[in-house]
Protein backbone atom coordinates (compact mmCIF):
# COMPACT_ATOMS: atom_id res chain seq x y z
CA UNK A 1 0.00 0.00 0.00
CA UNK A 2 1.35 3.41 -0.98
CA UNK A 3 2.13 6.18 1.48
CA UNK A 4 -0.59 8.27 -0.14
CA UNK A 5 -3.27 5.66 0.54
CA UNK A 6 -2.11 5.23 4.14
CA UNK A 7 -2.28 9.01 4.57
CA UNK A 8 -5.79 9.01 3.07
CA UNK A 9 -6.92 6.27 5.46
CA UNK A 10 -5.58 8.26 8.42
CA UNK A 11 -7.31 11.44 7.26
CA UNK A 12 -10.61 9.65 6.61
CA UNK A 13 -10.52 7.88 9.98
CA UNK A 14 -9.80 11.21 11.68
CA UNK A 15 -12.73 12.83 9.88
CA UNK A 16 -15.13 10.05 10.89
CA UNK A 17 -13.91 9.44 14.43
CA UNK A 18 -13.86 13.12 15.42
CA UNK A 19 -17.50 13.38 14.30
CA UNK A 20 -18.46 10.37 16.41
CA UNK A 21 -16.53 11.58 19.47
CA UNK A 22 -17.71 15.19 19.37
CA UNK A 23 -21.34 14.25 18.77
CA UNK A 24 -21.17 11.41 21.31
CA UNK A 25 -19.12 11.02 24.50
CA UNK A 26 -17.31 14.37 24.22
CA UNK A 27 -20.39 16.46 23.51
CA UNK A 28 -21.58 17.10 27.08
CA UNK A 29 -18.17 17.91 28.59
CA UNK A 30 -17.37 20.19 25.66
CA UNK A 31 -20.74 21.97 25.96
CA UNK A 32 -20.11 22.51 29.69
CA UNK A 33 -16.65 23.86 28.93
CA UNK A 34 -17.42 25.97 25.84
CA UNK A 35 -21.16 26.59 25.97
CA UNK A 36 -23.59 25.53 23.25
CA UNK A 37 -22.46 28.10 20.68
CA UNK A 38 -18.80 27.56 21.48
CA UNK A 39 -19.25 23.82 21.06
CA UNK A 40 -20.97 24.25 17.68
CA UNK A 41 -18.11 26.50 16.55
CA UNK A 42 -15.47 24.01 17.71
CA UNK A 43 -17.39 21.12 16.10
CA UNK A 44 -17.59 23.03 12.82
CA UNK A 45 -13.91 23.95 12.86
CA UNK A 46 -12.83 20.37 13.52
CA UNK A 47 -15.20 19.04 10.84
CA UNK A 48 -14.05 21.56 8.22
CA UNK A 49 -10.38 21.03 9.05
CA UNK A 50 -10.50 17.25 8.86
CA UNK A 51 -12.63 17.37 5.70
CA UNK A 52 -10.12 19.73 4.07
CA UNK A 53 -7.35 17.31 5.09
CA UNK A 54 -9.23 14.45 3.41
CA UNK A 55 -9.87 16.43 0.21
CA UNK A 56 -6.24 17.54 -0.15
CA UNK A 57 -4.88 14.03 0.44
CA UNK A 58 -7.49 12.49 -1.86
CA UNK A 59 -6.55 14.89 -4.65
CA UNK A 60 -2.83 14.09 -4.27
CA UNK A 61 -3.29 10.30 -4.15
CA UNK A 62 -2.86 8.29 -7.35
CA UNK A 63 -5.92 6.46 -8.73
CA UNK A 64 -4.42 4.12 -11.33
CA UNK A 65 -5.87 0.88 -9.87
CA UNK A 66 -9.51 -0.23 -10.08
CA UNK A 67 -11.23 -3.24 -8.50
CA UNK A 68 -13.58 -3.69 -11.49
CA UNK A 69 -14.74 -1.93 -14.64
CA UNK A 70 -16.98 0.81 -13.33
CA UNK A 71 -17.83 2.04 -16.82
CA UNK A 72 -19.45 -1.23 -17.92
CA UNK A 73 -23.09 -0.52 -18.89
CA UNK A 74 -24.69 -2.33 -15.93
CA UNK A 75 -22.40 -0.99 -13.22
CA UNK A 76 -22.59 2.54 -14.66
CA UNK A 77 -26.39 2.40 -14.80
CA UNK A 78 -26.62 1.16 -11.20
CA UNK A 79 -24.21 3.85 -10.02
CA UNK A 80 -26.12 6.55 -11.88
CA UNK A 81 -29.43 5.39 -10.39
CA UNK A 82 -27.98 5.39 -6.86
CA UNK A 83 -26.66 8.93 -7.22
CA UNK A 84 -30.02 10.06 -8.58
CA UNK A 85 -31.90 8.51 -5.64
CA UNK A 86 -29.33 9.96 -3.27
CA UNK A 87 -29.92 13.46 -4.59
CA UNK A 88 -33.70 13.01 -4.48
CA UNK A 89 -33.38 12.20 -0.77
CA UNK A 90 -30.74 14.79 0.03
CA UNK A 91 -32.16 17.95 -1.54
CA UNK A 92 -35.49 18.14 0.39
CA UNK A 93 -33.87 16.97 3.64
CA UNK A 94 -32.72 20.50 4.50
CA UNK A 95 -36.33 21.52 5.23
CA UNK A 96 -38.05 20.57 8.52
CA UNK A 97 -35.36 18.04 9.38
CA UNK A 98 -35.31 17.31 13.15
CA UNK A 99 -31.88 15.72 12.81
CA UNK A 100 -30.15 18.96 11.81
CA UNK A 101 -27.79 20.57 14.37
CA UNK A 102 -29.54 22.84 16.83
CA UNK A 103 -33.02 21.43 16.19
CA UNK A 104 -35.09 20.95 19.34
CA UNK A 105 -37.16 17.83 19.95
CA UNK A 106 -40.02 19.69 21.64
CA UNK A 107 -43.24 18.89 19.81
CA UNK A 108 -41.63 16.22 17.64
CA UNK A 109 -43.85 13.56 19.15
CA UNK A 110 -46.91 15.03 17.41
CA UNK A 111 -45.30 15.63 14.02
CA UNK A 112 -46.46 13.45 11.14
CA UNK A 113 -43.73 12.58 8.63
CA UNK A 114 -44.17 14.16 5.20
CA UNK A 115 -42.18 14.13 1.96
CA UNK A 116 -38.87 12.31 2.11
CA UNK A 117 -39.38 11.65 5.82
CA UNK A 118 -41.96 9.07 4.77
CA UNK A 119 -39.09 7.27 3.06
CA UNK A 120 -36.68 7.43 6.00
CA UNK A 121 -36.20 9.67 9.03
CA UNK A 122 -32.62 10.19 7.84
CA UNK A 123 -32.99 11.25 4.19
CA UNK A 124 -29.89 13.43 4.32
CA UNK A 125 -27.63 10.68 5.59
CA UNK A 126 -29.09 8.04 3.29
CA UNK A 127 -28.73 10.48 0.41
CA UNK A 128 -25.03 10.88 1.19
CA UNK A 129 -24.57 7.12 1.64
CA UNK A 130 -26.26 6.24 -1.68
CA UNK A 131 -24.32 8.98 -3.46
CA UNK A 132 -21.09 7.56 -2.02
CA UNK A 133 -22.04 3.99 -2.93
CA UNK A 134 -22.77 5.07 -6.50
CA UNK A 135 -19.29 6.60 -6.76
CA UNK A 136 -17.71 3.42 -5.38
CA UNK A 137 -19.44 1.37 -8.06
CA UNK A 138 -18.61 3.74 -10.92
CA UNK A 139 -15.03 4.54 -9.91
CA UNK A 140 -13.72 1.64 -7.76
CA UNK A 141 -10.19 2.96 -7.31
CA UNK A 142 -8.46 2.54 -3.98
CA UNK A 143 -8.74 6.19 -3.04
CA UNK A 144 -12.46 6.34 -3.92
CA UNK A 145 -13.21 3.13 -2.00
CA UNK A 146 -11.44 4.48 1.08
CA UNK A 147 -13.10 7.90 1.07
CA UNK A 148 -16.59 6.70 0.18
CA UNK A 149 -16.49 3.90 2.76
CA UNK A 150 -15.70 6.55 5.35
CA UNK A 151 -18.65 8.67 4.23
CA UNK A 152 -21.03 5.69 4.34
CA UNK A 153 -19.89 4.71 7.83
CA UNK A 154 -20.21 8.31 9.03
CA UNK A 155 -23.67 8.72 7.52
CA UNK A 156 -25.30 5.45 8.56
CA UNK A 157 -23.53 4.54 11.80
CA UNK A 158 -23.72 8.19 12.81
CA UNK A 159 -27.48 8.20 12.16
CA UNK A 160 -27.90 5.09 14.30
CA UNK A 161 -25.96 6.68 17.15
CA UNK A 162 -28.00 9.87 16.78
CA UNK A 163 -31.25 7.89 17.06
CA UNK A 164 -30.08 6.28 20.30
CA UNK A 165 -28.79 9.58 21.70
CA UNK A 166 -31.96 11.53 20.91
CA UNK A 167 -34.20 8.77 22.25
CA UNK A 168 -32.24 8.66 25.50
CA UNK A 169 -32.46 12.45 25.78
CA UNK A 170 -36.23 12.76 25.23
CA UNK A 171 -38.08 9.48 24.90
CA UNK A 172 -41.48 11.19 25.20
CA UNK A 173 -41.03 13.23 22.01
CA UNK A 174 -38.53 11.17 20.03
CA UNK A 175 -40.13 7.77 20.69
CA UNK A 176 -43.37 8.48 18.76
CA UNK A 177 -41.41 10.06 15.89
CA UNK A 178 -39.18 7.02 15.56
CA UNK A 179 -42.19 4.68 15.66
CA UNK A 180 -43.88 6.64 12.86
CA UNK A 181 -40.75 6.68 10.70
CA UNK A 182 -38.18 4.13 9.55
CA UNK A 183 -34.41 4.05 9.62
CA UNK A 184 -34.13 1.87 6.51
CA UNK A 185 -35.42 3.58 3.34
CA UNK A 186 -38.82 2.59 2.00
CA UNK A 187 -38.19 3.27 -1.68
CA UNK A 188 -41.82 2.50 -2.49
CA UNK A 189 -42.69 5.74 -0.72
CA UNK A 190 -40.07 7.58 -2.75
CA UNK A 191 -41.72 6.46 -6.00
CA UNK A 192 -44.91 8.20 -4.86
CA UNK A 193 -43.09 11.52 -4.44
CA UNK A 194 -43.04 12.43 -8.12
CA UNK A 195 -42.25 16.11 -7.70
CA UNK A 196 -39.26 15.26 -5.50
CA UNK A 197 -38.05 12.68 -8.01
CA UNK A 198 -38.36 15.21 -10.82
CA UNK A 199 -36.41 17.78 -8.78
CA UNK A 200 -33.74 15.19 -8.06
CA UNK A 201 -33.56 14.28 -11.75
CA UNK A 202 -33.16 17.95 -12.75
CA UNK A 203 -30.39 18.57 -10.20
CA UNK A 204 -28.74 15.26 -11.13
CA UNK A 205 -28.75 16.25 -14.81
CA UNK A 206 -27.20 19.64 -14.04
CA UNK A 207 -24.53 18.18 -11.76
CA UNK A 208 -23.56 15.46 -14.26
CA UNK A 209 -23.42 18.09 -17.03
CA UNK A 210 -21.07 20.22 -14.93
CA UNK A 211 -19.12 17.10 -13.94
CA UNK A 212 -18.36 16.37 -17.58
CA UNK A 213 -18.31 19.72 -19.35
CA UNK A 214 -16.36 21.69 -16.74
CA UNK A 215 -14.16 19.01 -15.19
CA UNK A 216 -13.87 16.57 -18.10
CA UNK A 217 -15.01 13.59 -16.04
CA UNK A 218 -17.97 11.64 -17.50
CA UNK A 219 -20.95 11.18 -15.17
CA UNK A 220 -24.42 9.76 -15.69
CA UNK A 221 -25.68 9.86 -19.26
CA UNK A 222 -22.65 11.80 -20.49
CA UNK A 223 -20.56 8.64 -20.60
CA UNK A 224 -22.75 7.43 -23.45
CA UNK A 225 -23.92 10.58 -25.24
CA UNK A 226 -20.80 12.78 -25.13
10-45 pLDDT, tens digit per residue, is 999 999 999 999 988 888 899 998 888 898 899 999
Domain boundary among 29, 62, 95: 62
**3-class SS at 66?**
strand
Contact 205/218 with Cβ under 8 angstroms? no
Residue 193's domain comprises: 64-225
pLDDT of residue 126: 97
pLDDT of residue 164: 92
Q: Are residues 98 and 206 in the same domain?
A: yes
Q: Say which DSSP state 117 is in.
A: G
Separation CA 145–CA 162 (nearest Å)? 25
C-alpha R_g of the chain: 19
Domain boundary among 62, 77, 103: 62
Which H or E run contains 135?
A: helix 123-138
pLDDT of residue 226: 62
Separation CA 31–CA 33 (nearest Å)? 5
Amino acid sequence: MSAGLIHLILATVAFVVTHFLMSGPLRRPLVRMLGEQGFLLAYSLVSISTLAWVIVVFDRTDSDWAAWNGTAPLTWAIASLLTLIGLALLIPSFVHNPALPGKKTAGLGTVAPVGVFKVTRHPMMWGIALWALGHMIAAPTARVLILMTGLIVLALVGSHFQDKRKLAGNKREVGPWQRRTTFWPNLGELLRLRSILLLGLLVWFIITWVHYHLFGIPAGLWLWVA
